[in-house]
Structure formats: structure tokens, C-alpha cells
Amino acid sequence: MATRVVITSFIVLVSIVLLSGSMCFAEEESKESVVEHVLTLDHTNFSEIVGKHEFIVVEFYAPWCGHCKSLAPEYEKAASVLSSHDPPIVLAKVDANEEANKELATQFGVQGFPTLKILRSGGKHSQEYKGPREAEGIVAYLKKQVGPASTEIKSAEDSSSLIDEKKITLIGLFPVLSGEEFENFTALAEKLRSDYDFGHTVDAKLIPKGDSSITKPTLRLLKPFDELFVDSQDFHVEAMEKFIAESGVPTVTLFNQDPSNHPFLVKFFDSPDAKAMLFLNFSTDKFEDFKKTYNDVAALYKGKGLSFLLGDLEASKGAFQYFGLSEDQVPVILVQTSDSQKYLKGNVEAEQIAPWLKDYMDGKLKPYVKSEPIPEVNNEPVKVVVRDSIQDVVFNSGKNVLIEFYAPWCGHCKKLAPILDEVAVSFENDADVIIAKFDATTNDVPSEVFDVQGFPTLYFRSASGTVLPYAGDRTKDDFIEFIQKNRDTIAKPVSVKSEESAAKSESARDEL
């Protein structure tokens, strides 16, 4: 089966931007250099080797992936350094592109390359590696991961080395370091250690914010936004997780060039809530008015299933491309729901934000649908379909339609294009068959009918309305066979052209 570029959601797109291209989703052939300290695992030895280690890091990679190639020497350097750690920290890798290893990749939820997993207790527990991608950072991050989940704070130096004012830090304040509350806190720290820094102390005066006269167990969340710290005294694990989830997210998440905001952006886009996003130029004279108004509205709707983001135009170019926005719409506010419905207002004024969002919450707004203009001339063998024409061409035409959902930048789509041209030429005298293409980066895909999770994705809709995904090989003959097998006959069928006549047509077209 032919491969395709994987895209799961806008969170993937944003993660790629934020991590400076640290994930790879397109394919090309290459060979990986041999390393010495990184163990090579596959489906034959994975369970045995992982089962022997209390702590091991596994990279799932593809030999063709450019980001994997960039990581390889850094990963090897880190493995060399960590091999001397007491106890040694083992780094391993799995070629997830190898057919025999794909079940392992599926087991660990690998959707892009490279994906790194921290496996504990012989592989019984798995967590995502969320650290740096250069050797020094990998070493520092993993040394911290292999140590205690929470650091005891005994001095001001301990406090300052742990607490970063640009990050969220969770501190357990206890009269004594024992008891049910302390045990629950320790369990929570172990569970969430890859997401947050944890510390604990019996001396609240060592913590820079909050009451220093704490006399009962308290969980303090220090953060670089909103009220800067918040306390909770409910030490049930589920209650602590809920407290962190609610308090650890800004009322308004900033999308700008500051890398310290990136973790909060990932959480924003990973949230199941509907997402309100206001994009404008942060250097405009009206920025402060917009910011205050937007923060006031966000506070009003906090906890009501709507999360808020304020994006700088310069930092949000990827979002503009994804949503099909243009700079002449700025300031622009957009709401995207969990089922991918979008609502939009361009050239919005600060005083219009609150009433527009109220209309959204009251169900008074119509969804915004992104579409290119319907082409005035559409006489190529493969017909161009846009969102505004898909109803007429695909659903209402009474034709058998093979439609490709593609991205202009996709290498596999470019390779497929001449093949689909040949298929279309073969059917050009068949009034019942249409071969079409749909740019899914500039048009909204009708997600209720077509599940497009990667490029290229192909679907076939028969004249009677049966919708089938195409998962066969991508040769001219395979496409033709699939269409002939699944089509509905409307009028008298016209035979597909012979290879010779199709070649003649192709040759004549090339000469034009």
C-alpha cells in the first residue's frame, strides 16, 4: 500500500512550528549512519531488552526523515555521556518505517518522526519524551527524569535552582515529609514528571510567593501568568490533577515569538474545548485596548468550554495559512469547535469582540467555510473542485467521481499528479466518470463525509452515492480497475481507451 503524509490536526501543525520542525511527516529515501552507544531494537528483541531496564529511552525513527538525521548525532552524543551515568541511562532506537516494526510503532502511538518514549519498569509504563533535541539538553533532561520525581527544597539555593519564573512549578508544602498527603503528592509527581517540575519542602519561607506560615499540607502552583500562584489543600490525586489542569492554563494564551509560551500553546491546541483566537499586530497602537477587552471576555467565559488565544500576526503565519486567512482581515477573531466548525469575523474592533462572542455562545452565528473561488475555466483532464463546488461536482452531478485531497507542498501528491492525469485522459470520453482534485489546504474538507488525515487521500463516490476510500496501489491500471469495479452505470458505458490510444492522447497533449 502506498504511503502518505500524516497530518492529524492543527495541533500537529502548531507543534511542528513550535518545535522548529522537530517532527517529520514526509517521505524520501535515505540511509542512517551507524552509531555505537545507541542500542538498535526491533520486533525480535524489543520486549527482551526493554524488559531488563527500569529506565530506557526509545526513539522511533524513519531512515528517510531529515529531522531524524539531525537528531542522530545529538542522540548518539547523549547516549555516550549517559552511558557513564550512575546508574547508566540507556538510549535505544527502532526503525519504525520497517514493516516488521510497524506494530511496535502503533503500540506506542507513533504518528510522526522522530518520536521518543521514556519506558519505565521494564516497559510497563510509557511517557512521552518532552525535552530538548540537542545532546546537552537531552542529558540534563534525562538525568532529571531518572532521579526523584520531586526535589526536596532545603535552602534558598535549592529553591532558585528549581523554580523558573517562566515555567509552571508545583511545590508541596508539608509540616512533615510523611503521611497520606505526602504519598499522594509523590505519586502525582511521578505521574506528571514529564510535564511539570515538582518540589517539596517543610519550610514555606523558601518559596518566593504565597503565605510563608503554612501549617497544613498545601499544594502551591507557581506560574508566569494571571495571579502568579494559587494554592490547594485537597490532596486526593484526582483533585490535584483537576486543580493543575484548571490553574495551569492561562486565561488567554499568547501566540508570539517567545519560546517560553510554547508549552502553553501546545496545551491550548490540545484542549478539547472550542477555541477562540484573536489575531492582530501586537505593535499596533490599539493593542492594549484589544488585550484588555479580550482578557475581560475570556475571564467571563472561563470554565464554559471556550479557551482563548491572542496571536501576534508575525508569529501566526502558519495559522493564517491553515485557516485560509489573509492579512487584510486583521484584526480577525476566529472560533473553531471540536467538530471543526469555524466562525469568523474579520476587521473586528475591540468593542465588537464581546457581543460577537455572545452571539456565538447563543448559537446565532453561521459557520465560516473556507473555499477558493470556483474556477472559471476547468478544462484539464483532472477537474479542480473547491469547497463551493464540491456539492455540485461530487454530490449532485450523478457521476462516478474519484477525488484526490492533496496539499501543494506534498511530494507524494506531486508524484501522483501525472498518474491521475493519465487516468483522467483514459476516461475523457466517458460521461459518467470524473477524476477530480481538491486542495485541502485552501478549502475546508466536508469532514462529515471524507476523513482526510493525510496527503494524498483519495475517495471514490459512485453515481448512486456510495463513498469508498481508495487504499490500493497508485498506478494507472489500479485506479482504472478500482473505478470500473465500483462505478454505477448511468448511460451506455464507454470503454476505457486502450493503452495505445491513451498514449497518443497524452503525446498530443504534451505537444500543445
What are the strands, taking DSSP E only, across 339-464? 342-345, 383-384, 400-406, 433-439, 454-455, 457-461
Q: Which long-range contacts (CB under 8 A, 24 or more apart) does 107-110 make?
A: 108/58, 108/60, 110/60
Q: Is 24 a catalytic residue?
A: no
Q: Which amino acid type is present at position 285?
A: D
> Burial code of 459-479, b = ≥16 C-beta within 10 A, e = fewer?
bbbbbeeeeeebeeebebeeb
Q: Is 68 a catalytic residue?
A: yes
SS (H, E, C) 109-137: CCCCECEEEEEEHHHCEEEECCCCCCHHH
Q: Which helix (H) or strand (E) holds 354?
A: helix 353-361
d(CA 497, CA 142): 62
CB neighbours (10 Å) of residue 414? Answer: 13
Which of 17, 57, 344, 410 is labelled catalytic? 410
Which of 5, 39, 68, 189 is labelled catalytic? 68
SS (H, E, C) 146-188: HCCCEEECCCHHHHHHHCCCCCCEEEEECCCCCCHHHHHHHHH
Q: Is 410 a catalytic residue?
A: yes
Which of 7, 18, 65, 332 is labelled catalytic? 65
Nearest to 307 by CA among 267, 343, 345: 267
Which of 5, 353, 393, 413 is labelled catalytic? 413
Taking phi first (over 0 means left), then psi (-120 to 50 degrees means alpha), and beta for anything else, what does residue 236 get? beta
Q: Is 413 a catalytic residue?
A: yes
Q: Give the angle subtended at the CA of 94 by the CAs of 88 and 96, to the nearest 5°.
A: 155
CB neighbours (10 Å) of residue 60? Answer: 24
> End-to-end CA distance of the chain, in Å?
35
C-alpha cell at 107: 503500540
Q: How far is CA 270 from CA 196, 251, 263, 344, in A?
A: 16, 15, 11, 21
Q: What are phi and psi of 69, to 5 degrees?
A: -65, -40
The set of catalytic residues is 65, 68, 410, 413
